[in-house]
Amino acid sequence: MKLLFVADPLESFKPYKDSTFAMMREAQARGHEPWACTPAQLHWRRGGTVRAHAQRLALTGSIDHDWVTPLGAEDCGLPEFDAVLMRKDPPFDSEYFYATHLLGRAEADGARVFNSPRALRDHPEKLAILEFPEFIGPTLVTRSADDIRDFHAQYRDIILKPLDGMGGMGIFRVGPDGLNLGSITETLNRHGSTTIMVQQYLPQIAAGDKRVLVIDGEPVPYCLARIPQGSEIRGNLAAGGKGVAQPLSDRDREIAVHIGPLLAARGLLLVGLDVIGDCLTEINVTSPTCFQEIAQQTGFDVAAMFVDALERAIARS
């Protein structure tokens, strides 16, 4: 099969930990052809379908800077590929949004796109949890400083975060003393012009912010607990958290088994659920990661499970 990965530039990959690299490696090992382009290389002209200035790839087997050999570039129509995988990292900004519309146009012309462009737009990673209140902790979405003060007065220890952040960027904790609550609110909500999320602080973060991967509606049996280090409150690997793979808890599995099939039916082949303690905190759909950390620590081949699911999805379509 011919697979197109729409991703960040290849030179930005860190193959020793990159999940998209793990997908490419598994696909090539099965005899499939990996191709790549960036969202900037997608284009459309009247009378045709969406096309990409795409590069055919050969993975070398290395996990160093020489991990890939380009085999030549072509201008290809997206329906020519057996599957198109949208793996561009957040932020979900205007350009990402426009790319989903181009991918949606390609889908209408017969391309098979995973995750579904419409589903990517319909499930913003912070706000998607609002559909599942039975699994989340106390949460407020607002741009009102008064609402935030009232929420703090009720819960005393809170987390504030932007809706478009990634990797733990822009996350603040305000404790019972309320120190800097006003200043933090003004910074995040831009004096009332921007909506933010506020949640009760969950002390279980000390045991890790768990990434639970769900592939075609089925949970991977291990999660990666991203444990904050030192005085840091964020467990994100990008913020210095330590990743520890562990079996799913009963609660992790309960959440995944309930949510996974619903999201899979909407075209979300791969989802990353973030769970702290017993509470769902985010639903990641853009480019969920942690494949390699789980595989390295447990021996469970997440990339193989994913490519199995991708092959099934292509056969169904």
Biggest CA-to-CA distance, the chain = 62
How far is Cα 240 from Cα 289, in angstroms, rounded to an integer?
Answer: 16
From 51, 112, 210, 226, the catalytic residue: 226
Contact 268, 119 (CB under 8 A): yes
234 is catalytic: yes
From 125, 252, 274, 293, the catalytic residue: 274
From 26, 209, 284, 293, the catalytic residue: 284
Q: What token pair was written down for 6?
A: 């729409």
From 51, 112, 126, 210, the catalytic residue: 126
From 234, 236, 252, 293, the catalytic residue: 234
**SS3 (DSSP) at 71:** strand
Angle between helices 291-298 and 302-316 (to 10 degrees): 130
Torsion of CA 135, 287, 19, 316, to 10 degrees: 90
88 is catalytic: no
126 is catalytic: yes
How far is Cα 46 from Cα 52, in angstroms, rounded to an integer?
Answer: 15
Q: Is the dihedral of CA 65, 69, 72, 77 positive or negative?
A: negative
From 87, 112, 210, 211, the catalytic residue: 211
Q: What token pair was written down for 131?
A: 């559909």
Phi, psi torsion values for 22, nearest 5 degrees = -60, -40
From 161, 210, 216, 293, the catalytic residue: 161
161 is catalytic: yes
284 is catalytic: yes
C-alpha pair distances (Å), 75 with each of 12, 35, 68: 22, 12, 20
Beta-strand runs (E) in the chain: 2-6, 33-37, 42-43, 51-59, 68-77, 83-86, 113-114, 139-142, 158-162, 172-174, 196-200, 209-215, 218-219, 222-227, 242-247, 270-276, 279-284
DSSP string, 108-141: HTT--EES-HHHHHH--TTGGGGG-GGGS-SEEE
* Active-site residue set: 126, 161, 211, 226, 234, 274, 282, 284
